């Protein structure tokens, strides 16, 4: 699905009118650092952070760090 719908999904992110933030685990073999780098280029208006040593589940592998990134972003949207 990812390859088949890539253009549609990337276009939707590029055209978003709401604030976006990617919090990525850089050690994830499926959607790690390479996806973070691609996202930064393709969706430059979005915020993005990469935890280099974290895998696919930053919310369980580094919950405190995730909240440090996520809560200010959420609060700034209010």
In this prediction, residue 22 has a pLDDT band, given cuts at 50, 70 and 90, of very high
The share of the chain scoring above pLDDT 90, in percent, equals 90
Q: Phi and psi (nearest 5°) for 26?
A: -65, -25
Indicate the length of the chain as a whole number: 78
Read off the pLDDT band of 54 (50, 70, 90): very high
pLDDT in tens, 40-52: 999 999 999 999 9
pLDDT at 76: 94
If one counts every other C-beta atom within 10 angstroms of the C-beta of residue 37, the result is 14
Which pLDDT belongs to residue 33? 96
Biggest distance spanned by C-alpha atoms of the chain: 35
Q: What pLDDT is attached to residue 44?
A: 97
């Amino acid at each position: 699905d990812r390859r088949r719908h890539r253009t549609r999904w990337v276009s939707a992110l590029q055209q978003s009118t709401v604030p976006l933030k990617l919090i990525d685990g850089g050690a994830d073999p499926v959607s790690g650092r390479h996806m973070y780098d691609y996202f930064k280029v393709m969706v430059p208006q979005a915020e993005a952070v990469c935890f280099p040593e974290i895998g696919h589940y930053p919310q369980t592998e580094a919950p405190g760090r995730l909240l440090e990134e996520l809560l200010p972003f959420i609060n700034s949207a209010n």
